[in-house]
A and B are shown apart, each in its own frame.
Chain A
């Protein structure tokens, strides 16, 4: 007969877990069966000595310092495959999110922090810091070139701030900033089908790194600015390019 397993850590009550349980009663944090379906299908398993099941077990055993300090919370993409595979629907990604949130803001990864700050500091909420003037200039410049150079597209329309358009099309900053020609095929498609759409100089950027930063207030600020931009133009639908 084998010997009984020995628990090498002192189980404690975790304030963080209690808080998450309270906020998220449907998160089923207590219901883990330790089956490991989460970890077996997680590409982040084994990185920095962590995996989703281990992360949850450490949390439930109150090893708060370990789950708060592991950089693994920034390697988990919160893709939700673990909870999708979980027979009990345990909300591991939400726990990861709250652990990200427990990091002092200035100690969170600089790249994510910087992208969130850029979004807060630009009218378009561009994570790459593109100003709305630059966005408008690039779009109009590229569209003009297509009209002049490409037969059949002399009448290509790329509306900006068009009131009452049905679709409010957002745009990832990557295109206007680094590869503007990649926007052209999408414009051609929209023109071909006769879609009623517009870009906006306010809240035009598709990305929101404040969410990845786990900064709720900034995240909300960015989302509210975008929602307001849609309302200002009287558009009906926020359209993602993906």
Chain B
């Protein structure tokens, strides 16, 4: 069993994935990252959270990364896990997610990276429902953006500011 997050980090360290943050030097778009409970607290703990940060910083630039607090193994669940998204308790799920929403908003980051499907669905919904207006992106989108190989139809979750970068 392996997480692709660890492989991204390994491939970047080995030079197989030549990402860099030049695309964001002048733009200065800021990012925070969600530590998925399943990946971090429940499975691979802080070392994978460190790998995740290494990947994110390599791709968006260290100066453009803003961590949430608390984070890593101590991070709050977004409210998308455990079947919550499918359970029919939408009102409760969004109330639960307010903790996460406020945590993200406190970073003042432009984007939230969610490297987990449940987290992505939930945080995307929170941003829309509470009209917070921040885009929620998968990690693979940013890796390909950084590499200049992100196609036109692969930008669904990017905000207007990044829709045309590298096209």
* Interface positions of A (Cβ within 8 A of B): 41, 43-44, 47-48, 71, 74-81, 84-85, 109-112, 114-115, 146, 149-150, 152-153, 167, 172, 174, 179, 181-182, 184-186, 188-189, 192-195, 206-207, 209, 212-213, 237-242
Contacts and interface: CB of A to CB of B under 8 A. Distances in A.
Among A48, A80, A167, A213, residue most surrounded by chain B Cβ atoms (within 10 Å):
A80
B92 A47 contact: yes
A43 B4 contact: no
A43 B2 contact: no
Interface residues of B, number: 55
Contacts of B80: 77
Interface string B136-167: 00101101100101110110100000000000
A43 B81 contact: no
B95 A47 contact: yes
B129 to A, nearest CB: 15
A174 to B, nearest CB: 6
Interface stretch (B21-29, B60-68, B70-78): B70-78
A146 B75 CA distance: 38
Nearest to B114: A242
Given A78-B81, A174-B117, A188-B144, 20 more contacts: A43-B76, A43-B98, A44-B96, A75-B89, A77-B79, A77-B80, A77-B84, A111-B83, A112-B83, A167-B2, A174-B121, A184-B154, A186-B140, A192-B17, A193-B16, A194-B16, A209-B83, A239-B3, A240-B1, A242-B39
13 contacts: A43-B100, A74-B87, A75-B96, A85-B74, A153-B149, A181-B151, A181-B153, A182-B141, A188-B144, A189-B8, A240-B4, A242-B38, A242-B117
Contact of B76 (A48, A76, A81): A81
